[in-house]
Amino acid sequence: NDMFNSGPGSIQSADWLNQICLQVVNDMNCYGICVIDNFLGEAQCSSILNEVKSLYGYGIFQEGQLVRKVNRTRTPSQVIRSDKIVWVDGGEPQCVNIGFLIQTLDAILFKCNTMENNGIFSRYQINNRTKAMIACYPGNGTRYVKHVDNPNGDGRRITSIYYLNQGWDLQRDGGLLRMYPTCYENHVADIAPLFDRVLFFWSDRRNPHEVQPAFSTRFAITVWYFDDEERNQANQRYPSFPIEAS
């Protein structure tokens, strides 16, 4: 049948998968970054957002780190909480739609890894991933400082982030993801965390990135995909790595 993944809220066809993979392979080879809008459609994204909100309502998100609020005035800087996270594997009964997202991301990346003329992908073997990390920025001006996801060869090859924020207005809400791709000197990629937008990028030093202060609640779901060889070597060095493997 040509529906590789008839998810709970939407039907994805094999042709849809092919189109997506062609774009991902092209952009990852050219820019090391790939942004796709209207990824799963409004209904499916809303279902995922509702699941995330109810998880948030259960209070299972871990309290974010305490961070010093940098303020412009001379008043003593206050301490506020940063992003809160929870890990899910998508198999939980109340995560059916989040599970559909993960299966769709799996289908895309495992196909990119095996298709013809996939360029840089042919250097890697991408067959495993972490669980999905659901992050919520509380919108109190917290940010995520500039960093590299995988600076020291922990096995993570591709970062995929799915955004759930309806009616996001950059001027009012901030929360911009700014990427500093090393393959493009003096260029930055500014990516708004828009509803039903998915982003893929190489997790290593090719893509330093930061999240600018967010002033509305900002939800994102991140899954990291491993390169088998690098992951196996990392596991020899540090058997129990903190990143939650699926």
In the complex with ligand PW5, the residue whose CB is nearer, 24 or 220, is: 220
E strands, 93-131, where? 128-129
Q: Position of tokens 């996001």?
A: 168
Euclidean distance between CA atoms 140 and 64, whole angstroms: 12
| Burial class, 45, CB count within 10 angstroms (exposed 0-12 / middle 13-18 / buried 19+) | buried
Task: State the binding partner of 64 from Fe ion, ligand PW5, none, CB within 5 to 8 A by kind.
Answer: none
161 binds, among ligand PW5, Fe ion, none (CB under 5 to 8 A by kind): ligand PW5
- Stretch of 88-96, 142-150, 174-182, 188-196 lying at the interface with Fe ion (CB under 5 A): 142-150
Q: How far is the CB of 65 from ligand PW5 (least distance, A)?
A: 10
Tell me the closest approach of the beta carbon of residue 122 to Fe ion, in angstroms. Answer: 25
* Amino acid at position 119, single letter: G
- If the CB atoms of residues 124 and 201 are measured against ligand PW5, the closer one turns out to be 201
Task: Please give the residues from 136 up to 155 whose contact with ligand PW5 meets the rule CB under 6 A.
Answer: 144, 147, 149
Q: Under rule CB under 5 A, which residues in 145-164 are in contact with Fe ion? A: 149
**Choice from 34, 40, 108, 161 touching ligand PW5 (CB under 6 A):** 161
Residues engaged in binding Fe ion (CB under 5 A) = 149
